[in-house]
Amino acid sequence: MRLSEVTHPNQLHGLTISQLESIAKEIRQKHLETIAATGGHLGPGLGVVELTLSLYQTLDLDRDKVVWDVGHQAYPHKLITGRYKNFHTLRQKDGIAGYLNRRESEFDHFGAGHASTSISAALGMAIARDLQGDNYKTVAIIGDGSLTGGMALEAINHAGHLPKTNLLVVLNDNEMSISPNVGAIPKYLNKMRLSPPMKFITNNLEGQIRNIPFVGEQISPEIERIKDNLKIVTMVQNKVGAVFEELGFTYIGPVDGHNLKELIDTFKMAHTLTGPVMVHVSTTKGKGYSYAEADRVGYHAQNSFDLATGKAKPSTSSKPKPPSYSKVFADTLIKLAEHDKRIVAITAAMSTGTGLDKFQAALPNQFIDVGIAEQHAITVAAGMACEGMRPVAAIYSTFLQRGFDQIIHDVCIQNLPVFFCLDRAGIVGADGPTHQGMYDIAYLRCIPNMVLMAPKDEAEMQNMIATGLTHNGPIAMRYPRGNGVGAPLQDEDLEPLPIGKAEVLREGKDILLLAYGSMVYPSLQVAELLNEHGISATVVNARFAKPLDTELILPLAQKIGKVVTLEEGCLMGGFGSAVLEALNDANVMAPVYRIGVPDILVEHASPEQSFNSLGMSSGQICDHILNQFAFNRQPAISS
């Protein structure tokens, strides 16, 4: 059977090891060819090909439920669940999603994008199954990196208290999340991974049986069966897994994650056990592609690349790109931290994505990676702030949501000087709704003591970093994914900005454009387009969403009489809402038109496609304004 013929995972039933190995080879080839062309997650999926095939051969996917943690390692799952023919559209607009999506396939039993949720979801399904009197199997597949997340440990604690609830947890242990794992749990798993009890015992057994006079040769054909059975028993009895046993799980492993026969035998046996079972599978991230195996961090995810060399495809533009916001953030923070030992950079398993891997290399004693544990990261920062340190918590906008209670309870109520740096704020593109940074303005703006700011460009970002490190209270800076606009960077003497003060970038009499962060430069483009219709616009770089510069904004709104707000985030509760509230509280009766993301999920697409779909390109915004305020479309009068 060929991979292209597999449209339902139950077609794997009855296939020989040789046939499965052939399909595994095809999966890796299709996976590599697709990511090389479109970009996407590479190493995670390559590492779980055999795990996926062997597990699915032991399940009935018309009934049984499988929950993949995060989902970026589930590309092999997608390829054998009816999406082979459309796999070339991966992470493209209207194509196959990069993560699991219940709307995309009946086999995506639970959507995900954030780590450590799978055991909780699978346990919920198992409890529902038992309450409804059904008997299907439920399986959670979780990586060792995700096991560092508190939610996974909470789920293990709960499941271990339910000895009659059948649940299989497959621990995919590749020693990595995006970067190498940190903490005591990965260290313990490494000890387990290196434990060799079953190979030693089974190989000794074979030698001893073969040496029995007259008996050894006769029993020889049975040796493999005896070895397999004893191997499973030995894995169950492996007391290196005693911690999981004490938590109420039957522990089996470690199992070679690329040995199909061993995996199938193990999963079959695990399905016969009662209560929660953990099968510990040791895999190699990037398996089958030498470049990915050698560089497991760099090939976690890739833009389009040359499959033969493993190198990124050259840019079609001859013009050099400005540095990314993440790079400017890291470089600036390093310069400031070199002169202030109170500054400590904190990340939650995202040192590479946030740019802090460079900070770690330069100032290792001022760097902390807590693992996939945003809640813990925030409260650690709060504790450090109590003792006079200046903690900088660099966390993606979408991941900071996970620590909302800690932001309120541990930081803001105590008015502690923790500096939150929100990378990937706004539209992020192909990762889709689980990773869009849509909500941080709304969910942070409502918290007392919190200050919110966003730079218009990479140079202003440098000033805002200095501002965040000198402010005596909670403060957050959001900035977008990708490259800056090309603003000249400052080498030294970074001046903090006055809190809550905006700046006027352009003056006009017909309409007031109030822009926040990444929408400032587009608003200047809109002003130019409006000018072509004879409409002059005042453009304000708000800088701060909280506190607003009401001393500047209110008189301008009163004078000009027409206001447009522009933000790269959700409209509900966002920057535009803040402006509306301020005008209402001051009894300024100017009409306000808000540009931003409405109450919808932004699906995977390129950022440009997403902006166009939302009507947020500069040309579209100009048209919206002309229609909203019924301006007459006329050419500008030349002076």
Per residue in 523-575, pLDDT (tens digit) is 999 999 999 999 999 999 999 999 999 999 999 999 999 999 999 999 999 99
Residues 97 and 143 in one domain: yes
| Residue 277: CA count within 13 A, CB half-sphere | 22
- The CA–CA distances, whole Å, from 107 to 46, 102, 168, 430 equal 20, 8, 17, 21
- pLDDT tens for 5-28 read 999 999 999 999 999 999 999 999
Contact 206, 227 (CB under 8 A): yes
Share of the chain above pLDDT 90, in %: 79
Range scoring the smallest mean pLDDT among 12-21, 212-221, 576-585 = 212-221
pTM to 2 decimal places: 0.89
- In terms of average pLDDT, the best of 234-248, 289-303, 452-466 is 452-466
Report how far residue 507's alpha carbon sits from residue 537's, in angstroms, rounded to the nearest whole number. Answer: 6
Residues 143 and 202 in one domain: no
Pairing of strands 537-541, 503-506: antiparallel
Residues 244 and 212 in one domain: no
Report how far residue 279's alpha carbon sits from residue 589's, in angstroms, rounded to the nearest whole number. Answer: 64
Candidates 7, 116, 20; CA nearest to 61 is 7
Candidates 436, 437, 379, 354; CA nearest to 179 is 354
Report how far residue 424's alpha carbon sits from residue 397's, in angstroms, rounded to the nearest whole number. Answer: 6
Residue 242's CATH number = 3.40.50.970
Candidates 372, 597, 355, 395; CA nearest to 476 is 395
pLDDT reading at 220 higher than 80? no
Residues 559 and 430 in one domain: no
Q: For 434, which DSSP code?
A: T
Q: For 485, which DSSP code?
A: -
Answer yes or no: is 169 within a domain.
Answer: yes
User: 135: how many CB neighbours lie within 10 A of its CB?
Assistant: 9
Answer yes or no: is 178 within a domain.
Answer: yes
Residues 206 and 246 in one domain: no
pLDDT reading at 199 higher than 50? no
Residues 273 and 343 in one domain: no
Contact 468, 487 (CB under 8 A): no
User: 38: how many CB neighbours lie within 10 A of its CB?
Assistant: 20
Answer yes or no: is 483 within a domain.
Answer: no
Q: Work out the average pLDDT over 394-423.
A: 97
Residues 98 and 136 in one domain: yes
Catalytic residues: 285, 374, 402
Average pLDDT along the chain: 90
Name the strand (E) or helix (H) holding 67: strand 65-68
Residues 594 and 619 in one domain: yes
Answer yes or no: is 310 within a domain.
Answer: no
Answer yes or no: is 107 within a domain.
Answer: yes
Residue 555's CATH number = 3.40.50.920
Q: For 375, which DSSP code?
A: H
The whole domain housing 420 covers: 325-478
Answer yes or no: is 583 within a domain.
Answer: yes
Residues 164 and 208 in one domain: no
For residue 230, what pLDDT is reported? Answer: 46
Answer yes or no: is 275 within a domain.
Answer: yes
- Beta bridge pairs of residue 345: 367, 392
Answer yes or no: is 174 within a domain.
Answer: yes
Between residues 69 and 316, the one the model is more confident about: 69
Residues 166 and 201 in one domain: no
Number of domains in the chain: 4
Residues 188 and 208 in one domain: no
Residues 258 and 145 in one domain: yes
